[in-house]
Structure 1
C-alpha cells in the first residue's frame, strides 16, 4: 500500500512539473489568408464618399466577384513581428472561408472557386479607390512589441516608411472559442480610438502579443481578424516554428521615412480632396487604407 502511494505521488508531482515547464514556441512563421469582400466594400466606399469621382469604380459593380483573396506571411519572435505579401510562386495554403456574425449580420460570405482572371479583377477593383495606384497594396508591416512602435513600408510615387506608435485597441473578452490552424482561439471584440470595430481570435499557445496588420495587445497571437466595416478578414492557415530571429533586411535603404502625421499631410490635399473639413474622419480613412 505504501509503495502504491509513493508511485501515485511521483506521478502527480511529475505531471505538475511537466505542466509548469511546458514549452510554447516564441519564434516562427504564420501564413495568413486575406479575404476582401470586394463588391460589398466597393458599394460601401461609394456610399461613404457620395460618388466622389476619385473613388468611383468605373464599371458594373454587379459584375465584380464577391471576394478576392491574397496571402501573407507573418514572421515573429518574442518582441517583433514582420508581415509581408507571400511570394506569388508559393503554393497557397488556403482554408475554408469563415463567417463571423455581429448582431445577426455576417461579415462575409463563403468564397466560391474563382479563376485567376476573376481574382485579378477583384484585386484591381479593390485598389481603384487609391486613384489607380495598385503599388500601395504591396505593403510590409513591422511592429516592435517591446517598444510599442510600428513601421509600414509602401510605395506611392516612391517608397515610404511610415513610423508610428502601435495603435491602442480596447478589447472585450467573450466566451466564444474556435479552432484556427489547429489552435484553440478565444474571441475578443475591440475598438480603436477612432471607433473602428474589430473582431479578433487569439491563442495563448503562441505567447506573443502580436497579430496581422499591426494588431496585438492580447495575451497571445491573433490568428483571426475581422474588420466588418471594411469587409476584410484575415485567417491563419498554417503555423511553423523556427529558431530564426527577425532581420531588418526587409527595409529599402532608399525609402523615405516619415511619421504618420507627415503621411497624413502628404495625402490629405491630394487623394482625399473633397471630403469636407472633418480632419479626424479624413485621418481615419487614410490610415485605414494604409493599415488594413
Structure 2
C-alpha cells in the first residue's frame, strides 16, 4: 500500500514538472503571421494624402488602380524569447489575392472587430528607390523589425538604395481592454483597443498563454503575445497562423554589418520630404515610422 502511494506521488510530481517545463518553452519560439495588405484601399488613401504636386507625378500610376488586386498576403515569421523579438519575411514570395478568388488564411476584421473585407491592410509593394520606399513601404525582402523588450528600444533594418539600420525608442501604446475573445492559431485571445501617442488606432488580440509582452510590427505592452493586429488607418492586418515553441533565443544573424546606422530622426530629415501628409501638423517622423513599421 505504501509503495502504491509513493508511486502516485511520484507520478503527480512528474506531471507538475512537465507542466512547468511546457510553461518555460512558452517563452520562446516562432510564430508564423499572415500580413494582409489591402492594396486598393491603401493606394486610394495615399492618393488623397498626396500634395497636388506629388499627385500630378503619380497620376499615371493611379490610372491603373482598377487593375490592382484587392489585397495581397505576405508570410512573416516572428522569433521571440523573454527578452526580444525579431520579425522578418519568409523567403517565399507574397501571394496576391484577387477579389473573389480564394480565401485568406487569416480572418478579416473591421474596425469594430467583426468580419469584413473593407478594413485591413495595404501598404503596396516595396520599391527599390527612395521615393518608391516612402510611397509603398520598404523592400519587404530586406526589412527586419527588432525590439529589445528589456531596454524598450527597436531597430529597423531596411534596404533602399543601400542598407540602413535605424534605432528608435519603442513608443508607448495606451490599451483599453474589452470582454471580446477570438480563437487565433488555436489559442484563445482577448481583444484590446489601443492608440499610439500619435493617435494611430489599433486593434489587438493577445494571448496570456504566451507570457511575452510583444507582437508583430513592434506592438507591445500587453500581458501576453499579440497574435492578431489590425491597423484600420493603414489598411493592414496581421494574423498568426502557426506557433512553434522552442528553447532557442532570438537569432542575431539578421544584422547586416554593412548597414548604415542612424537614428530615426536622422532618417526622417533625409527622407521626410517624400512623405505624403494628410494633416498640416503631421510630422515626417510619424509618417515614416508608420510606413516602416506597419
Q: Normalized against structure 2, the TM-score is what?
A: 0.80
Kept after mapping to 1: 8 A contact 2:40/2:68: yes
Kept after mapping to 2: 8 A contact 1:107/1:226: no
Name the count of aligned residue pairs: 271
Corresponding position of 1:272: 275
Deviations 1:124-144 (A, max 9, x none): x54469633475333101101
Corresponding position of 1:114: none
Kept after mapping to 2: 8 A contact 1:97/1:110: no
Q: In structure 2, do the counterparts of structure 1 residues 266 and 89 end up closer, same or farther at CA, with 3 Å as the change threshold? A: closer
Kept after mapping to 1: 8 A contact 2:189/2:207: yes
Q: Does the alignment pair 1:213 with 2:209? A: no
Q: Does the alignment pair 1:64 with 2:68? A: yes
- 2-structure distance, mates of 1:239, 1:105: 24
- Tell me by how many angstroms 1:47 deviates: 1.1
CA RMSD of aligned residues (A): 3.5
Q: In structure 2, do the counterparts of structure 1 residues 247 and 106 end up closer, same or farther at CA, with 3 Å as the change threshold? A: closer
Give the unaligned 5+ runs of structure 1: 1-5, 112-121
- 2-structure distance, mates of 1:148, 1:103: 30
Give the unaligned 5+ runs of structure 2: 96-102
Corresponding position of 1:237: 241
- Tell me by how many angstroms 1:175 deviates: 0.4
- Tell me by how many angstroms 1:89 deviates: 7.6
Q: In structure 2, do the counterparts of structure 1 residues 55 and 71 end up closer, same or farther at CA, with 3 Å as the change threshold? A: farther
- 2-structure distance, mates of 1:44, 1:276: 9
Corresponding position of 1:153: 157
Q: Normalized against structure 1, the TM-score is what?
A: 0.80
Corresponding position of 2:48: 47
Which of 166, 171, 178 lines up with 1:174 in the alignment?
A: 178
